[in-house]
C-alpha cells in the first residue's frame, strides 16, 4: 500500500470552534462530477479517501468519474462502507462465525484477536419477540417475558460478543426495529474519524437497510457473510451500477398516505426493471415529502428490486436531524461539510439535475390513489377501490401469484365456529390477522397517527372488531408510544384491540404467533382462503402465518379499517364498515382523516425531547437484559448440549493452502423449482413444524414441542438450520408437486423431506445441484438461504435469473451460481430434474462470467454463464467462500 495520491485535495473545514479535514471532490477539477448522480458521488468520495493503490487504486477513481460510460459495462469497483448494521436473526450467525473464526485462527497459529470488527458494527435485537399475547393491556410485558425465556441462550451469547469484540454495539431487546432505530438514532449522516469528515455509509444484514437512503445515507442489504467481511476490514467488490432517475412532481392528495405512494412506486419500478441498479429520486415533489415519507419509499427498495432507493441530502434531512435531537454542532458539521464537497441537494429553480441512466421515470404525486398490494407479492399493487373484485376473481383463477384455483362450490363455502360463547362464520376473504407492524410504516408519524385517528373516530361511533381477529401494534421505537400518548389516541387503539404487543419486527417477519385455538381449528378444517392485512413490506406465501393464504400490505389506518370490516372483500364506496350506536351505517369516509388533519397533529405532538428521552437510555437496557449472566473471555466455550448456539463446521477442516475444486460429476437435482422462489421459501423461518427434520433433531435433544421456538431464534445452530432449509409449506417443487417441503430421492423413487433426501444423497456419495427459474432468491438478505443449501451438499444452482444479494451469498459460501442463457431454462430444454448433470470446473480456474458446458445423463448438453461477476468473487470461490478468503489473508499478515 502507498500514500494516498489524492491527499492533494485534502482540505480543512472550520465548524464552530473546531477544524476538520476532508477530501474535497470539487478540488479534483473534473467537470464530470457535476453530472454524477449524488449516490455515485458518495462512491467516488469513498474511493478518493481510501485510495492506497492496493485495495483502491487511481484507476478505480477514474472508473467512477467515468460513470456515464462505465455503468452499462459491468465495471468492477471497490467500496468501503463506514459501518455495518445487523439485526439479531442475522447477527447471531455473524457472531457465531466470528467466534468460530477465532478458534480457527488460533488452531492455524494466528492471532485470534485479529478477528474483530475493524469498523463500527451495531446490532439491534428486534427480531426475537413474537405476538404470543395480543389484545390485552399486559401484552407487551408478557411477550417480552416469553421472549427472554425462549432466547436466554442467544441473548447470553450476544452479551458475550459485546464484551469479547471491540467496536461492537448491541441495542438491547425492547428498543425498537433496527431500521427505525438506525434512522432515528444510529445514523451519523457524516462521520468524523481522527479529525477527518466523510459521508456516513453502511451495509446491513437485512435487505431493508435501504430505509436509511431516505436520510441521504448510502446503504443497502448484503448477506451476513459479506457483512462479516466488511467488519473484518474488507472492501466490497461491486459492479458500478446504473442509476435510474425517478422524478417526483406535485403533491399528494388530501386522503393519500405514504404507504399508497410507496406501493405505487414499487409497482412502477418493478415494471421498469431495476434489479442491481440504484434508483435516485429528484424533482420538486421530493421537497413536498416529509423525511419519513422518503424513508418509507427507500425502505422498500428490495420490493422494487433496486440496490438503493436514494434521496440526496437536503434541508429536509437537516430538519429531521433537529427533530430527532441530534447534537447541534454535529448538525452544523453535516451541512457545512456536505455543501463544501458538493453532496448537498437543493430544489431551487437554478439547480441542475445530474445525468441518469436511460429514460427518466416520472410520477405526479397528485395521481396516487389509495392502494394495497397482494395477495402474495409486495409488488402486485391493487387500487383499494378494485380490491374486492381483484380478490374475488383470484379465488377461481388458476393457482398463481393472484389465483387460488378454487371451484365455484369452494368459493361459496362457509364455516361456523364458536368463540367466547358467540357463533361466528368464516368465509373466503375473512380477516384473521390485522397488524400495525414493520419499519416501513412505524417510522412514519403521519401514517401511525392516521391509524390512531381512525381508531378514535371508530370508537366514538361505537364500532368494534370481532374478538377472534388477531390485532396487534408493534411500534418501531418508544418514540411512537410517546407521541401516541400526547395525541391521546392510545386508548382508542387499545379499545379496538390494537394494544402494544412489543417493540420489534413482529408480524411482518412471521412472528405473528398462534391464532386462538378455535379459529385455528376452523381455518384448518375449512381450508378457506382467509386473510391478513399488515402495514409491512413482505407478504410472500407462508411468511405472515401458515394459515393466511391471502396477505395484503396496507397503510396503518387501512389496517384498522379492514380489521373493523372483518374481511378484505369489501367495497368501501357502497358498503359500510359497520353501524354506529344508533344503528346507522358508518362508511370509511366517515372515519378517515385528511392528510392536513394528520399533519397538524403530527407537528404538534412529535417533539425532539421524545427522541432525547428514549435514546438517552437505550444503551442501558432493561432490567431483564441487565440481569442476564454472560460468559467472559475472548474465545467462546461451545457446549454440545446447546440447541441454540453450535460451533459451525465451516472452518473445522480449513487449512492455509487453497482447497482443491473438483468437477461436478453426475450430480442429482435436489429441487427443480420455478420462478420467484424467495429466500422465504429457502431459508428456515417461522415456527418449527412438528414431525419436521428439525423437530426430530430437537426431540432427540430432549426438547419438548412447546419449546421448539422459531427457526429465526435458532439461527445460531447450524444443525437446526440445515434441517429447516427448504422447509416452507408453500414451497412448490416440480419433483414433488403438491407435497410442500418434500422432494424425490431419485435413485430410490421415495418422496421425503428435502433435508432427508440431501443426507441420503450424501451417504451415497452423490453430488447435488438445484434447477430454478427467474428471480431465484428474491426476498430478504438471508445468509442461511446460502448456508443451508451448502450444508445440504448443494454444489451449484442453475437458474434463469438471480436476486442480487442471494447470488452474492451463494458465492460467499462457495456454492456456484450458474445461469441459463437467455430464453433457456430447465423446462425449455426439456429437463424434468430427474436427470444427472456434469460440469467441468477447470479445477476452479474460472473467469468472470465465462461460459461452461453442462452435460446431462440423457446426452443433451447446454451452456451456462458463471455468475461470478467480479475477479474478487472468483477469488472467493477458489477459497471456498468469502470468510475463508479473509481468514487466509489475515493469517498471512
Q: What is the 3-state secondary structure (H, E, C) of 481-512?
A: HHHHHHHCCHHHHHHHCCCECCCCCCHHHCCC
Q: How many residues does the chain have?
A: 893
pLDDT in tens, 500-556: 999 998 988 888 999 999 999 999 999 999 999 999 988 888 889 999 999 999 999
Q: Tell me if 376-606 shares its fold with 653-892.
A: no
CB atoms within 10 A of CB 855: 17
Rounded CA gap, 441 and 557, in Å? 11
Show Cβ contacts of residue 122 under 8 Å, excluding neighbours closer than 6 positions: 83, 84, 85, 86, 169, 170, 171, 182, 186
Q: What is the mean pLDDT of residues 784-799?
A: 96
Q: What is the mean pLDDT of residues 782-802?
A: 94
Q: What is the pLDDT of residue 351?
A: 77
Q: What is the pLDDT of residue 871?
A: 83
Q: What is the pLDDT of residue 229?
A: 87
Q: What is the pLDDT of residue 539?
A: 87
With cell 384473521, the residue in question is: 432
Rounded CA gap, 283 and 293, in Å? 15
The grid cell for 888 is 487466509
Domain boundaries, the chain: 7-79, 83-367, 376-606, 653-892
Provide the edge-to-edge strand list for the sheet that holds 550-553.
Answer: 381-383, 371-373, 550-553, 531-534, 431-436, 470-473
Rounded CA gap, 363 and 290, in Å? 17
pLDDT band at 818 (very low <50, low <70, confident <90, very high): very high
- Chain centre to alpha carbon of residue 135: 27
Q: What is the mean pLDDT of residues 479-491?
A: 97
With cell 452544523, the residue in question is: 332
Q: Provide the phi-psi class of 679: left if phi over 0, else alpha when psi is between -120 and 50, else beta.
A: alpha
With 80 as the cut, is the pLDDT of residue 780 above it?
A: no
Q: What is the pLDDT of residue 511?
A: 86
pLDDT band at 1 (very low <50, low <70, confident <90, very high): low
Greatest Cα pair distance, the chain, in angstroms, is: 81
Q: What is the pLDDT of residue 827?
A: 97
- Chain centre to alpha carbon of residue 400: 24
pLDDT band at 128 (very low <50, low <70, confident <90, very high): confident
Contact 200, 217 (CB under 8 A): yes
Helices (H), 463-594: 478-487, 490-496, 517-526, 556-565, 588-591
With 80 as the cut, is the pLDDT of residue 136 above it?
A: yes
Helices (H), 377-444: 387-396, 408-412, 439-442
Rounded CA gap, 567 and 564, in Å? 8
Show Cβ contacts of residue 440 under 8 Å, excluding neighbours closer than 6 positions: 208, 211, 259, 262, 296, 299, 300, 508, 535, 536, 537
Q: What integer best gives the mean pLDDT of the chain?
A: 94
Rounded CA gap, 837 and 286, in Å? 52
CATH number of the domain at 376-606, out of 3.40.50.720, 3.65.10.10, 3.40.50.300, 3.30.499.10?
3.30.499.10
Peptide bond into 269 cis (omega under 30): no
185 DSSP 8-state letter? I
Task: Give the helix/strand (H/E) hosting 103.
Answer: helix 88-107
Helices (H), 574-724: 588-591, 595-605, 608-616, 623-626, 679-682, 693-700, 718-724
pLDDT in tens, 297-315: 999 999 999 999 999 999 9
Closest CA to 131 of 499, 559, 484, 481: 499
Rounded CA gap, 147 and 373, in Å? 31
* Out of 129-133, 150-154, 156-160, 656-660, least confident range: 150-154
pLDDT in tens, 283-298: 999 999 999 999 999 9
With 70 as the cut, is the pLDDT of residue 352 above it?
A: yes
% of residues, the chain, pLDDT over 70: 100
Q: What is the pLDDT of residue 870?
A: 83
Rounded CA gap, 719 and 645, in Å? 10
Rounded CA gap, 541 and 734, in Å? 17
Rounded CA gap, 876 and 582, in Å? 70
Task: Give the helix/strand (H/E) hosting 25.
Answer: none
- Burial label for 106, CB within 10 Å (0-12, 13-18, 19+), is middle
The grid cell for 489 is 389516541
Rounded CA gap, 848 and 873, in Å? 8
Pairing of strands 585-586, 578-579: antiparallel
- More confident of the two residues 842 and 20: 20
350 — phi, psi (to 5°)? -85, -5
Show Cβ contacts of residue 9 under 8 Å, excluding neighbours closer than 6 positions: 23, 24, 25, 27, 28, 48
pLDDT in tens, 704-745: 998 898 888 899 999 999 999 999 888 999 999 988 899 999
Q: What share of the chain is helix, strand, coil (3-state, %, to 5)?
A: 40, 20, 40
With 70 as the cut, is the pLDDT of residue 478 above it?
A: yes
Q: Supply the pTM of this predicted model.
A: 0.86
With 80 as the cut, is the pLDDT of residue 123 above it?
A: yes
- The CATH class for the domain spanning 83-367 reads alpha beta
CATH number of the domain at 653-892, out of 3.40.50.1820, 3.20.19.10, 3.30.365.10, 3.40.50.720?
3.20.19.10
Q: What is the pLDDT of residue 436?
A: 97
Task: Give the helix/strand (H/E) hosting 66.
Answer: none
With 90 as the cut, is the pLDDT of residue 687 above it?
A: no
The grid cell for 207 is 435487505
CB atoms within 10 A of CB 859: 7
pLDDT in tens, 436-469: 998 889 999 999 999 999 999 999 999 999 999 9
pLDDT in tens, 328-346: 999 999 999 999 999 999 9
Rounded CA gap, 176 and 502, in Å? 8
Rounded CA gap, 507 and 355, in Å? 40
Amino acid at each position: 500500500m502507498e500514500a494516498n495520491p489524492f491527499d492533494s485535495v485534502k482540505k480543512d473545514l472550520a465548524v464552530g470552534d473546531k477544524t476538520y479535514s476532508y477530501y474535497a471532490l470539487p478540488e479534483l477539477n473534473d467537470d464530470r462530477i457535476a453530472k454524477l448522480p449524488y449516490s455515485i458521488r458518495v462512491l467516488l468520495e469513498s474511493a478518493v479517501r481510501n485510495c492506497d493503490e492496493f485495495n483502491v487504486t487511481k484507476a478505480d477513481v477514474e472508473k467512477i468519474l467515468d460513470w456515464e460510460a462505465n455503468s452499462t459495462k459491468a465495471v468492477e469497483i471497490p467500496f468501503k462502507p463506514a459501518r455495518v448494521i445487523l439485526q439479531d436473526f442475522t447477527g447471531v450467525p455473524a457472531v457465531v462465525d466470528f467466534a468460530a473464526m477465532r478458534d480457527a485462527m488460533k488452531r492455524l497459529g494466528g492471532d485470534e484477536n485479529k478477528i474483530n470488527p475493524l469498523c463500527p458494527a451495531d446490532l439491534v435485537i428486534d427480531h426475537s419477540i413474537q405476538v404470543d399475547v395480543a389484545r390485552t393491556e399486559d401484552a407487551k410485558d408478557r411477550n417480552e417475558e416469553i421472549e427472554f425465556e425462549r432466547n436466554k441462550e442467544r441473548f447470553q451469547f450476544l452479551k458475550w460478543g459485546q464484551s469479547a469484540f471491540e467496536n461492537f454495539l448491541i441495542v438491547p431487546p425492547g428498543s425498537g426495529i433496527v431500521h427505525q432505530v438506525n434512522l432515528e438514532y444510529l445514523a451519523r449522516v457524516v462521520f468524523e474519524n481522527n479529525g477527518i469528515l466523510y459521508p456516513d455509509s453502511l451495509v446491513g444484514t437485512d435487505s431493508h437497510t435501504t430505509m436509511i437512503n431516505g436520510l441521504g445515507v448510502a446503504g443497502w442489504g448484503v448477506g451476513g457473510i459479506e457483512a462479516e467481511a466488511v467488519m473484518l476490514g474488507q472492501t466490497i467488490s461491486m459492479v458500478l451500477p446504473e442509476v435510474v432517475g425517478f422524478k417526483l412532481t406535485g403533491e399528494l392528495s388530501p386522503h393519500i398516505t405514504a404507504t399508497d405512494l410507496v406501493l405505487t412506486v414499487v409497482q412502477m419500478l418493478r415494471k421498469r426493471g431495476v434489479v442491481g441498479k440504484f434508483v435516485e429520486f429528484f424533482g420538486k415533489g421530493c421537497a413536498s415529502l416529509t423525511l419519513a415519507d422518503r424513508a418509507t419509499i427507500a425502505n422498500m427498495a428490495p420490493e422494487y428490486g433496486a440496490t438503493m432507493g436514494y434521496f440526496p441530502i437536503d434541508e429536509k434531512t437537516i430538519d429531521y436531524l433537529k427533530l430527532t435531537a441530534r447534537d447541534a454542532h454535529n448538525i452544523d458539521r453535516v451541512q457545512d461539510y456536505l455543501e463544501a464537497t458538493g453532496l448537498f441537494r437543493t430544489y431551487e429553480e437554478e439547480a441542475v439535475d445530474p445525468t441518469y441512466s436511460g429514460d427518466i421515470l416520472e410520477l405526479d404525486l397528485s395521481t396516487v390513489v389509495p392502494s394495497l398490494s397482494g395477495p402474495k407479492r409486495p409488488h402486485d399493487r391493487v387500487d383499494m377501490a378494485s380490491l374486492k373484485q381483484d380478490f374475488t376473481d383470484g379465488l377461481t383463477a388458476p393457482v398463481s401469484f393472484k389465483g387460488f384455483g378454487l371451484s365455484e362450490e369452494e368459493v361459496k363455502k362457509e364455516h361456523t365456529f364458536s368463540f367466547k360463547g358467540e357463533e361466528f362464520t368464516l368465509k373466503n376473504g375473512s380477516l384473521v390477522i390485522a397488524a400495525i407492524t414493520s419499519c416501513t410504516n412505524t417510522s412514519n408519524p403521519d401514517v401511525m397517527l392516521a391509524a390512531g385517528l381512525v381508531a378514535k373516530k371508530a370508537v366514538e361511533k361505537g364500532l368494534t372488531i370481532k374478538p377472534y381477529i388477531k390485532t396487534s401494534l408493534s411500534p418501531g421505537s418508544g418514540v411512537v408510544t410517546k407521541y401516541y400518548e400526547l395525541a391521546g389516541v392510545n386508548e382508542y387503539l387499545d379499545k379496538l384491540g390494537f394494544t402494544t404487543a412489543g417493540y420489534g419486527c413482529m408480524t411482518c417477519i412471521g412472528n405473528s404467533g398462534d391464532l386462538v385455538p378455535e379459529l385455528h381449528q376452523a381455518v384448518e378444517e375449512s381450508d378457506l382462503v382467509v386473510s391478513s392485512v399488515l402495514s409491512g413490506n413482505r407478504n410472500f406465501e407462508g411468511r405472515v402465518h401458515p394459515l393466511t393464504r391471502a396477505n395484503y400490505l396496507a397503510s396503518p389506518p387501512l389496517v384498522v379499517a379492514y380489521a373493523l370490516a372483518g374481511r378484505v372483500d369489501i367495497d368501501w364506496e357502497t358498503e359500510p364498515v359497520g353501524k354506529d350506536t344508533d344503528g346507522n351505517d358508518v362508511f370509511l369516509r366517515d372515519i378517515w382523516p385528511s392528510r392536513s388533519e394528520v399533519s397538524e397533529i403530527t407537528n404538534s405532538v412529535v417533539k425532539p425531547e421524545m427522541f432525547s428521552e428514549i435514546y438517552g437510555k437505550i444503551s442501558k437496557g432493561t432490567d431483564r437484559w441487565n440481569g442476564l449472566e454472560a460468559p467472559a473471555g475472548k474465545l467462546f466455550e461451545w457446549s454440545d448440549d446447546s440447541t441454540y448456539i453450535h460451533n459451525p463446521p465451516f472452518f473445522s477442516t480449513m487449512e492455509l493452502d487453497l482447497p482443491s475444486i473438483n468437477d461436478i460429476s453426475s450430480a442429482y437435482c435436489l429441487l427443480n423449482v420455478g420462478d420467484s422462489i424467495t429466500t422465504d421459501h429457502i431459508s428456515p423461518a417461522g415456527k418449527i413444524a412438528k414431525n419436521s427434520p428439525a423437530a426430530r433433531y430437537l426431540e432427540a435433544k430432549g426438547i419438548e414441542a412447546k419449546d421448539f421456538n422459531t427457526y429465526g431464534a435458532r439461527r445460531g445452530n447450524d444443525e437446526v438450520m440445515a434441517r429447516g432449509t427448504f422447509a416452507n409449506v408453500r414451497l412448490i417443487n416440480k419433483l414433488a408437486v403438491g407435497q410442500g417441503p418434500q422432494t424425490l430421492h431419485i435413485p430410490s423413487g421415495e418422496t421425503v423431506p428435502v433435508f432427508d433426501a440431501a443426507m441420503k444423497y450424501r451417504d451415497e456419495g452423490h453430488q447435488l445441484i438445484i434447477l430454478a427459474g427467474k428471480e431465484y432468491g428474491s426476498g430478504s438478505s438471508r445468509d442461511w438461504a446460502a448456508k443451508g443449501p451448502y450444508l445440504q451438499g448443494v454444489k451449484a444452482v442453475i437458474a434463469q435469473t438471480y436476486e442480487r444479494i442471494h447470488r452474492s451469498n451463494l458465492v460467499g459460501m462457495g456454492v456456484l451460481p450458474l445461469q441459463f442463457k437467455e430464453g433457456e431454462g430447465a423446462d425449455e430444454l426439456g429437463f424434468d430434474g430427474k436427470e444427472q448433470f456434469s460440469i467441468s470446473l477447470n479445477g476452479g480456474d474460472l473467469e468472470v462470467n465465462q461460459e461452461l458446458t453442462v452435460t446431462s445423463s440423457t446426452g443433451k448438453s447446454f451452456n451456462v454463464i458463471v455468475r461470478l461477476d467480479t475477479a474478487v468473487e472468483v477469488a472467493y470461490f477458489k477459497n471456498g467462500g468469502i470468510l475463508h478468503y479473509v481468514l487466509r489473508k489475515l493469517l498471512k499478515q
